[in-house]
Structure 1
């Protein structure tokens, strides 16, 4: 059956189609793009058989796998875009995103890019790791390609009316907050919490390696300050709600959008107007743009009184936050755990706090009901063969999925070896789950534990240093078929760990630089090198 022989209706895949949610999203965006031009105002669901029959033709039209050479969040935007020059629009959109498959947007990068290019996804601000820089580039790419997202095509609109599967971003479940305990000891410079949640009645189902999506609320104190900064009443009505309610639950108060500075430029004059216009254009006239949040942006132009509704329209939606799950359903059915750093830092003489980490770490009492969902892992999970050994590298809160892995391996009596590299600032105050890890070692579940403490001595020691020091044995594990996992910071840690692994391959495998890089690339292709980075 050919695409040309089908009726001129916009097809979409129903939930019963034998594809993942991400595959359905990509295919529905594809259908919207190629059929909507001649389509009547309607849509027709493809049967599973029709969808399967179409797959060979769709794969033939899909771009070749070019290994996404721009997949390096530490690479400057200009370099990533240069690597993608001449590629199809979806590939250039992926290059702008860089951080592939973190899942925070509700897609994987490939399906998000395809949906934007097809006009099926009008929101360009969903790439949380990329932030404002990525948003600007996505706008530039879609506008220059004449593909600025239009209102959803009939297929996409029809597909969105179908109920989403339970426990997903579009159809979250309700979980109960059971409590928190601090993992750092007294004297630590950090605040990290172990969070427990009850899944009973939520409809949520997860596996070790999945992530947990939470819909947070903004800090009430910050909301008060924003309301005061625009000289408005908290009860000002906006779409049937109050200004306070909208600021608390619906809009992001973190990075100020360009549209906010554009609005400010209409309210001020002289040098202040010029500053606002330059900020709206992505410039940094005072050298502080990277530190601005919405409140700091307002305080930069004191005395303005924007219309509250116009002000709200300039802000981005408050997006859910994703956390790696640190529990195993095989070990603790009905319970889900997280390992959460409470984000806080000083800027402009004020303490800044992370939205979700403050919400979970201090903002809600035990027994609170929360809307939440499960983001299924994409290429991040334990080997299908439980006899395979695993090497896990997770400093700081990067230990979260590996705690889940260890509990899973213990509960299922997996015979494969388990090796964990963990690091933080100080052993005495920042050794997360120390007693659990010791118990796993005593039980024979945790075969080897290597730790790195960056502030305990005159010389800073990181997990990549421990990897190089253990190179001979690590190389033996890799040659024996072990799988390697990394979780944590994408811009620094993950890149440094990958370099250390390449050094191990070179030093103990007798490989040259190019061969060592090829060895790691082969591990990735085989699914033996997986990363959960952000």
Structure 2
């Protein structure tokens, strides 16, 4: 039998296209495979909705790189069915902020079973605008009240566990216990160890899970907004007062498109044109990305919207997710978090993160707050305690690894644990130093590699330490170690993966392509897991 050799393939994606080498290779393979399925199979039409495997969709998500801008993600997803393009609009792989996975969320929107387009907090306005555009492309989402009622039963699954505190729709009340600053004198940051009492809520969790926190807005910011529109703070809204609804139920950053649409109805001339442009996602003054609700009102002074209409123009307040930094075996009835307090100055005005400063300053020991547990999507310890683990978590990225190590100590896991930790200065930014040394003495932490970026003339990061200790790192991988990353998705996680590929290439005597394939095999087998944001 004669086997016909395939003709050399001509790349379908030219080198001038705005993709990197890996993305071009993936797209060439995808379209080549798509066209070889059947002469009648082509690229999915614009409004098509399908499941993976249908219409040439293989279920892969090459766009789900958290460091990739939305326009590049959408370009990679071009030609895919509508639900897959909706998934590409989401900025982070299965972070859980929406209460489910990216795939479930996008499928529910495409099936007109989920009306909310603002649940992807990492994607912010860019994702919400793209989802709105895609919903318009398919002819509309869940809008009609009668249709909404019919669709309710098919809404996106939020949690298979219907007990209180297991989903964002069903939070429980817990008690704030304490905060303790982790930074020492001279640090440039404020990072808090937070403890919350879950004993009365009967809420449980596993290491690797995240805690959803419903925070309240800063009353001083709310008062400034009320003053800007000249409304009475006690105006009755939604069975409450205008002020209380702004504090507890309304998102005040960023300024939503609907707010600019409302402003356009209340003004005229050039101001109306400017507000209409902002409502369409345009940026007439080059400052759209900086506008929160207060600054939007200051940009159009003198408007006096009806308080109810004003509330309707705002987005609902979203919970914030934090990686849990404790093990229930070590701290029963309690959950711990590790949180940077976000404060910065933008155009001569102090801005603050919502939940981080709420936990830092606006809640006192003994106060209650609403929380829920978001189960981890593929971020967990190996079932066998004899399996080695390698953890890379600079800054607050140490949070889940503190939990991992507490769990390994409690279960007497003997597989070996290696932590790469780093921050700015060893003297004031060494979080949980005494605990880590105790875990080393107890044998739960086998190896601790430290990187300090501001201690000397040369900046040292965790990826530098990985390369420096590459031979041993590769040996651990060859022994079956699971590899974990937690922290910044935009730069750190990308740099750590690049360092890992370099280590595998050098010490495994592999080509760069084979080293990348090695990492992909780790990912596919569940041995490479990330919790990035």
Q: Same fold (TM over 0.5)?
A: yes
More moved, 377-386 vs 501-510: 501-510
- What is the match of residue 164 of structure 1? 162
Q: CA deviation at 1:311?
A: 1.1
- The answer to whether structure 1 residue 154 and structure 2 residue 150 are counterparts is yes
- In the TM superposition, what is the alpha-carbon distance from 1:340 to its structure 2 partner? 0.7
Residue 500 of structure 2: aligned partner: 501
- Report how far residue 372 of structure 1 moved: 0.9
Secondary structure of the structure 2 residue equivalent to 1:427:
coil
Q: Scaled by the length of structure 2, what TM-score is found?
A: 0.86
Q: Is the 8 A contact 1:198 1:334 kept in 2?
A: yes
2:182 corresponding residue in structure 1: 183
Does the CA contact (< 8 Å) of 1:327 and 1:403 recur in 2? yes
Paired residues for 1:300-311 under 5 Å? 300-311=299-310
The CA deviation at 1:274 is 2.6
For 1:263, what is the secondary structure of its paired residue? helix
Out of 279-288 and 78-87, give the one that drifted further: 279-288
- Measured after TM superposition, the shift of residue 350 of structure 1 is 1.6
Farther off after superposition, 409-418 or 167-176: 167-176
Residue aligned with 2:327, SS: coil
Contact 1:177 1:366 in 2 (8 A): yes
- What is the aligned counterpart of 1:120 among 105, 109, 113? 113
Once the two structures are superposed, residues 95-121 of structure 1 have per-residue CA deviations (whole angstroms, 9 ceiling, x without a partner) of 110311100111110110111011110
SS of the aligned residue for 1:429 comes to coil
For 1:193 and 1:115, how far apart are their aligned partners in 2?
A: 37
CA RMSD of aligned residues (A): 2.0
What is the alpha-carbon distance in structure 2 between the residues aligned to residue 384 and residue 460 of structure 1?
A: 37
Which residue pairs with 2:11 in the alignment? none
Find out whether 1:111 has 2:104 as its counterpart.
Answer: yes
Match of 2:455 in 1: 456
Which residue of the partner structure matches residue 349 of structure 1?
348
Q: Using the TM superposition, give the Cα deviation of residue 269 of structure 1 relative to its aligned residue in structure 2, in angstroms.
A: 2.6
The residue number in structure 2 matching 1:82 is: 75
Superposed counterparts of 1:34-113, under 5 Å: 65-113=58-106
Cα deviation digits, residues 202-259 of structure 1 (max 9, x gap):
1211000000011111011111111111111101111221100110111100101111
In structure 2, what is the Cα distance between the partners aligned to 1:518 and 1:59? Answer: 23
In structure 1, what is the Cα distance between the partners aligned to 2:53 and 2:280? 40
What whole-Å deviation, never above 9, does each CA across 1:177-212 have from its counterpart, x for those lacking one? 111100001121100000111111212110000000
- Tell me the TM-score normalized by structure 1: 0.86
> The residue matched to 2:284 in structure 1 has which SS?
coil
In the TM superposition, residue 61 of structure 1 has moved relative to its aligned partner by: 6.4
DSSP-derived class of the 2:232 partner: coil
Number of corresponding residues: 478
Query: Does the 8 Å contact 1:70/1:98 carry over to 2?
Result: no
Tell me by how many angstroms 1:485 deviates: 0.5
In 1, Cα distance between equivalents of 2:394 and 2:338: 12
SS across alignment from 1:174 = strand
| 1:76-105: CA deviation from partner (whole Å, max 9, x where unpaired) | 222111111111111111111031110011
What's the CA shift string for 1:253-290, capped at 9, x where partnerless? 01011111111122223332232222212122222222
Alignment of 1:250-329 (within 5 A): 250-329=249-328
State the Cα deviation string for residues 132-176 of structure 1 (Å, max 9, x = none). Answer: 001111111121122423443535348799993222222222211
The alpha-carbon distance between structure 1 residues 98 and 347, as it changes in their structure 2 partners (threshold 3 A), is: closer
**Counterparts of 1:471 and 1:311, CA distance in 2:** 57
> 1:386 corresponds to which residue?
385
